Chains A and B, each alone.
Chain A
C-alpha cells in the first residue's frame, strides 16, 4: 500500500520535519472533485501556541506542510498532498501512541 509505505518513510523523518511532530497519519482518498488525494494528518505535541491562530503558528505549519509535500514529490507520489494538523490531546485516546 502506497499510503502505508509513505507513512513509514515520513514517520522515520519526523525530527527533521519539526521537533513537535509526534506522528503522521497518511491516507489516500477522494477530494471534493473525486480525484485521488493524499491526506497527511500531522499530530503535534500539545503546546500553548497551538491555541492561537497567529501568523507565527501559520509559519510553523507552513514549514511542516512544505517539507511533507516536498518529500512526497521526491518519492514520486503523483498526487496533491493535503496537510491537516491535530494536537495530541485532541486525538481519540486509542490513537495517542507516540511514534
Chain B
C-alpha cells in the first residue's frame, strides 16, 4: 500500500510486533546485580593495598590496647618492688628467685619504668587512651559539625550568614593558645564537679581528659561544619528534596534522612582524617603535661616521662614515640584510601 508522503499516520511495521526471539531476550537478562554505593566503594577499598594494610595495623593495635590488657598478668598501675628500670626481657631479683623455685613468671617484654611498672602494659593502656580520645573527640566533632553545617546550609539566608561568620571567627582563633588556657581554666570547676553526687565518674575519667573533649567540642568542629555545609548547599537543590518537601516532610527529617545520608561519603572521609589529628593534639597536650590524669598513661605522657631518662633508657622513649607515629600514619593512609574509594571527587 502506498502511503501519502505528507500523511500524519503512524508508520507501523508489523514486524515490530512479533514475539521476541531467544537472542533478543538474552540482552534483557540482568547479568550482574546493580552495584550499590557501598559495594562500589568497598570494592575499590579492598583493591587498595595501602589502605588494607593500615586497616590491619589499626585492628592489631586495637586488639592489643582493648583486649590483651584484660588477660595480661600485670596492671598498668601496679608498682613492683625491686623491679625498677628493668631492661626488656629482664627479671627482678625476686622474680629470679621465683623462677629458680620452678615458678613461671611472665617476662617484662619492654622492661619496666622507674616506678617498677611493667612497660608493655603501660604502652598498651597508653594507646588505648590515645585511641579512645581520638575516637570520642572525633565523634563529638562529627555530631556538632554535621548538625551545624547542615542547619546553616539548609536554612540559608541570614541564618547561614550569621552561623558562618561565627565559624569564620572560631576558625581564625589560634587554637593552641586557647587549648592551653582552657585546660588550665577547666581543671578547677571539673575538680569540684567530681565531688557532686552523680558526677563521680569525672574523677575516674580525669579532669584533663574531659577538658580536652570540651576543647575539641568548642573549637575543632568548624572544619567539619564547612565541609558539610558545602555539600548540603549542593544537595538541597535536588529533586528528591523538593519532592520530600511537597509531601510535607518536616525540615528536621529532610536534613537527617535526605541531606546527611547523601553526604555520607564526605562524612566518612572527613571523620577518618579527623581521628589522627585528634590523637595528634592529645599527644601534644599530654606531652606538655596537660593530658590525662596521673596513673593513667597516654602515649604522649609516656614519651614525656621518658625524656629525662633518655640517656640510659632510650627504648622507654622510642616505643611510645614509634607507636603514636604508626597509629597516626595508619589512620591517615586509611583516610586517603577511603577518600579514593567513597569520594573520588574530593581527590586533590
Q: Do A and B bind each other?
A: no
Question: Chain B interface (Cβ within 8 Å of chain A)?
Answer: none
